[in-house]
Amino acid sequence: MNKLLITVRAENSHDIATVRRVNELAFGQPNEAALVDLLRKSADPYISLVATDGEQVVGHIFFSPVSIESEDAFPTAMGLAPMAVLPEQQNRGVGSLLVREGLKECQRIGCDLIVVLGHPQFYPRFGFVPAHQKGLRSEYPVPPEVFMVAELKSGTLTGKHGLVKYRPEFAQV
């Protein structure tokens, strides 16, 4: 197995078609790629990063704002979705690098917590825990172990409860 020399950088306009292809191949359908296209137009702020091996884009991750319905005041929250890696590059550390760099970027812009609907065996290594353990629930009917949250600022969720909603203007594709 060849060692990858992966770098992560901000997506640019030249990456859009390739990012679409990466998402379509990784998920085996166009839905996530269409979601990214929609979010680029409507989310503010958003973070879109690509992983490259030389000049080839091999992975992509996207973060966009979410809202939390609650009686408590909530800090800035983002949702991680989607994260995609070309099938032939999976299980080689590309996704992990994207998540680590994405969380750093979210923290850099002042985000205090990240939610994700994802694999419960993958995301805990980055500090994600089932969101219900921190008082959050998803607007979607999903198994509790797949809806997770990571506090980028320790104690952000202490004593708080709420319903996480993906912003209505970011309609499901």
- CB 121, CB 64: distance < 8 Å: no
Let me know if residue 171 belongs to a domain.
no
How many separate domains does the chain show? 1
Is 111 within the bounds of a domain?
yes
Residue 51 burial (10 A CB sphere; 0-12, 13-18, 19+): buried
Among 3-17, 49-63, 99-113, the least confident range: 3-17
Residue 155, domain CATH: 3.40.630.30
Answer whether residue 47 is part of any domain.
yes
Q: Show the domain range for 103.
A: 6-166
Domain membership flag for residue 1: no
Mean pLDDT over 44-64 rounds to 96
Spatial contact of 128 and 106, defined as CB atoms under 8 Å apart: no
Q: Give domain status of residue 173, yes or no.
A: no
pLDDT exceeds 60 at position 68: yes
Taking the model in full, what pTM does it have? 0.92
C-beta separation of 59 from 50 below 8 A: yes
Q: Is residue 95 part of a domain?
A: yes
What does the mean pLDDT of the chain come to?
92
Residue 102 inside a domain? The answer is yes
